[in-house]
Chains A and B, each alone.
Chain A
Amino acid sequence: MTDRDPHDHPDRPIRIVLDASAIVAFSRGSIHAGEVIAEVDDEHAAVGLPVLCLVEATRGTADPTRLDLLVNHRAGVVLGDEPGDWRALAATYDIVGRLDAAAAALAAIDLGCAVLTAQPGLYGGLAGGGPIIAI
């Protein structure tokens, strides 16, 4: 995963990863999520959107078209899981208890950034409480 290629935004480093709760918050008009996305965009960086978090978020959003806005935004990068990282994903899943949250945490840890989340408690089992920014 260290060679993760932010596919269609190679010129924008991923500054933060949104988990499902942050994606749902955005879809519900959260000013806190919006501020972070706007700031990251101003820095010409990107927000990582793990596939599993997007999938989970579809269950919690009232307006799926807002997920499309996020995915298609110039600062949005959809992140897949690397097949070779399955053991690390399993270990993270064991700690956080949800596969989508594990994908977000693994991506953030590997990319050296933080997870934006409305559910910080999910990550409490990670060393140091995990690299999170709570909204």
Chain B
Amino acid sequence: MLAEAGITVTDEGKARARAALADADARWTPERRAALRRQIGLPPAAA
């Protein structure tokens, strides 16, 4: 599908994406996510 869209992805590119996803996971702790939910009025996430 990506090739059909004219996008050629390399293993190095996927490693970059994996690192970005992992970084977001690390930055967004449960406490920070809970603060976000409170800000917009969502109930606490299920445990």
Contact = CB atoms under 8 A, between A and B. Distances in A.
A131 B42 CA distance: 15
B14 A39 contact: yes
Interface string B1-23: 11011111100011011101100
A134 B24 CA distance: 10
A31 B6 CA distance: 9
A110 to B, nearest CB: 6
A51 interface: no
Interface string A21-38: 000001101110111111
Contacts of B18: 39
Interface in A95-135: 95, 105-106, 109-110, 112-114, 126-128, 130-133
Interface residues on A, range: 35 or more
A131 B13 contact: no
A68 to B, nearest CB: 10
Interface of A: 1-2, 15-16, 26-27, 29-31, 33-40, 42, 66, 69-70, 72-73, 85, 87-88, 91-92, 95, 105-106, 109-110, 112-114, 126-128, 130-133
Given A29-B5, A29-B7, 12 more contacts: A2-B43, A31-B8, A34-B2, A35-B9, A36-B20, A69-B1, A95-B39, A109-B37, A110-B37, A126-B39, A128-B32, A130-B36
Interface of B: 1-2, 4-9, 13-14, 16-18, 20-21, 24, 27-28, 32-33, 35-37, 39-43, 45-46
